[in-house]
Structure 1
Amino acid sequence: MDPVLDDHMHLDPVNGRGVEACEEFADHGGTHLLVLNKPSWHYGVEVEEGGDFQTAYDHTVDVVRESNEVLAGRAWPVLGVHPALISQLVDRGYAPEEARDLMRAGLDTAAEYVADGRALALKSGRPHYEVDEAVWEASNEVMRHAFALGADLGCAVQLHTEDGEDFTEVAEWAEAAGIRREHVVKHYSTGGVVGPTPSVLADREELVRAAERGIPFMMETDFIDDPDRPGAVLGPKTVPRRTRWLREEGYDGALERAHVETPRMVYGIDTRATLE
């Protein structure tokens, strides 16, 4: 058995399928998962201080523990603050700078989980939709704080950002904070992203673009685990299925990069050694 890693999946043990979705992934040949916490508001938590983020983080740690019982490989939590939170906070009456500080505090809390080994990496980013200049700048400051934490912890940072392919400036910010650009992952990437390491949404055309560029990349579904949106964004079976398709198309070297070499480079994980 070869490793098959989904780099960005949500598992919601409270409102969604939770470990059952992981079982579907495993049944179709998936072996390793990075599980991202859902935003706190999915669990009915209105955050007011850094500790309020722990509810979402703890649910993620718990579902990863359950997932490790069903995977041939293993799962790891990636914890942090969803960038859309800033808009919710501003709508609640926070100034952008106050929202920034609360989101930084949420990242500080996530960093405690990484520091003690309960999580593998951090997540941050900036809104993927139009916002005013003050909110945009505050969001960039939150993201730069995540880079500083990642540098201190020696861990990777996954980013949720706007669409696009040239994120060279973001990679330069990471390097200025002391984190190598390859340790920054652009979640929901196309195959043409430059700057951070692309985590390519498992679309055939975009995976082939990444494969033929010969670059380090990973594959993801961004499965949301929302009962109101079953299968969104892509279902748990998708990365194993796309992996089989790429193998049939002769992209063995690209699959070694996506499932073994890039996860080792970015996160320091060994997907072969962690296979049963």
Structure 2
Amino acid sequence: MELDTPVLDNHLHLDPAHGRGIEAVKDFARVGGTHLLVVNKPSWLLGIEVEQGTDFEAVFETTIEVVTDANEVLDGRAWPVLGVHPGLVSKLIDDRGFAPREARDLMQAGLDVAAEYVADGRALALKSGRPHYDVPDTVWNASNAVLQHALALGADHDCAVQLHTEASEDLTEIATWAEERGLDRHRVVKHYASGRLAGPTPSVMSDKDRLAEAAERAETAEEPFLMETDFVDDPDRPGAVLGPKTVPRRVRWLREEGREEAIEIAHVATPAEVYGIDTRTTLG
């Protein structure tokens, strides 16, 4: 179902062992989707209890394998985004008895391993963040240290960093942290964003209200944005977040609304600026 434009879902998960895996990619492609940024699932959801940084390799390899398979299906291509889910801090502290500093160190070690995948070209970007729920100050401080470490790695390896954080329309503090470490703020991406965000680049959840606001701001104020579903690929949560067909369908809706410029910004200009990828030349 051609849309005659690249169509990128900036953040979704694929789980070939427990979920729909490549079948979800086929659904995305059938309705006009062309490009994917596939983020590794949290380690504990893959049944992996990490003890050291190298334990994350099994998580990352699973994502790289499914990206390879996705590239056989898509008219464009897929890229892996690798890192450590910020919710791991609570799993380590609350469930396994880690001290906050021990959890911090292990999560930073996992990010170091993810950065090695970026360095050798096997991954496009890093993923980090901080809890979106209330935590004690010691855990919050440890989480911010992990996030800041990810930003420093992004600067060191010249790559974007996707963030899972609390809901907010103002994350200028994080953007400032990035710039202090040598990473341009536009290369920090707030996953699960609303249509308005100060600081990082918003990756907007693809419901119509959020997209309408993001498209308006993009076209009137030249503000970049990306589109995503956060598809979780979990058979135990079939209605969670948005399905893999959503982004192509929302692109079609934006076209019906006369938002051609917004489509170009979200699926061509912003991916080029943030990740250095060319969604046109990789199409077909």
Structure 1 portions without partners, runs of 5+: none
1:37 pairs with 40, 57, 72, which one?
A: 40
2:203 is matched with: 199
Structure 2 CA distance for aligned equivalents of residues 199 and 253 of structure 1:
17
Partner of 1:13: 16
Deviations 1:100-133 (A, max 9, x none): 0000000000001101111000000000100000
CA RMSD, 1 decimal: 0.6
Q: Choose from 145, 152, 158 the match for 1:154.
A: 158
Shift of 1:232: 2.1
The code of the aligned residue for 2:256 comes to E
C-alpha displacement at 1:138, in angstroms? 0.4
Within 2, Cα distance between the matches of 1:150 and 1:36? Answer: 16
> Are positions 1:48 and 2:56 aligned together?
no
Question: How much identity, in percent, do the aligned residues show?
Answer: 68
Superposed, which structure 2 residues align to 1:211-222 within 5 Å? 211-214=215-218, 215-222=223-230
TM-superposed deviation, 1:194: 1.1
Q: TM-score scaled by structure 1?
A: 0.99
CA distance in 2, matches of 1:19, 1:118: 19
Residue deviations 1:72-115 (CA, integer Å, cap 9, x gap): 00000000000000001112111101100000000000001101
Note if contact 1:126-1:160 (Cα within 8 Å) is conserved in structure 2: yes
Could you say which residue in structure 1 is the equivalent of 2:115?
111
- Matched to 2:48, the amino acid is V
Deviation at 1:260, TM superposition (A): 0.1
State the shift of 1:248 in Å.
Answer: 0.5
In the TM superposition, residue 231 of structure 1 has moved relative to its aligned partner by: 4.0
Give the number of equivalent residue pairs.
276
Q: In structure 2, what is the Cα distance between the partners aligned to 1:170 and 1:225? A: 29
Q: Which SS does the other structure have where 2:274 is aligned?
A: helix
Q: Which residue in 2 is equivalent to 1:252? A: 260
Are the aligned partners of 1:223 and 1:231 in contact in 2 as well (CA < 8 Å)? no
Q: CA deviation at 1:55?
A: 1.1
- Determine if contact 1:80/1:123 at 8 Å carries over to the other structure: yes
**2:247 match: secondary structure:** helix
Give the gaps of 5 or more residues in structure 2: none
Q: Distance in 2 between matches of 1:231 and 1:4?
A: 23
Query: What aligned pairs does 1:222-233 form with structure 2 within 5 A after superposition?
Result: 222-233=230-241
The 2-side partners of 1:199 and 1:231 are apart by 20
- Asked whether 1:80 is paired with 2:74, we answer no
